[in-house]
Amino acid sequence: MDRVALRGLKARGHHGVFPREREEGQTFIVDLVLSLDTRPAAADDDLAKTVHYGVVAEEVVAVVEGEPVDLIETLAERIARTCLRHDGVQEVEVVVHKPDAPITVPFDDVTITITRSRV
């Protein structure tokens, strides 16, 4: 499988278990690696035969900005399902970053990484 990667998608969401997270929201950053066969698209130079990463980016941002969830694990799962709805995408790796997580000690980032594929 070939891979198309989108890194650093940023969106404001209201995810988290604490009231402050739900009320104020925070920035989430998403990295994606979409696995698919790009040979048909390359052979015909045809966007319709690959994944339109601009559309995927917009859909993922809409998920992050959408209905709040308690866990970034749930958010990552929703993002993965959205990506797998695209024809040709056989597998997706999703990394959700929560750099402003409510942690009381100094830290750089909190992430969840999941890999999902068509069954």
H helix intervals, 2-94: 19-24, 39-44, 53-65, 72-84
- pLDDT tens digits along 25-57: 999 999 999 999 999 999 999 999 999 999 999
Q: Structure pTM?
A: 0.96
Active site residues: 98
pLDDT digits (tens, 9 = 90+) for 56-107: 999 999 999 999 999 999 999 999 999 999 999 999 999 999 999 999 999 9
For strands 26-36 and 2-13, give the pairing: antiparallel
Task: Specify the DSSP element, H or E, that contains 118.
Answer: none
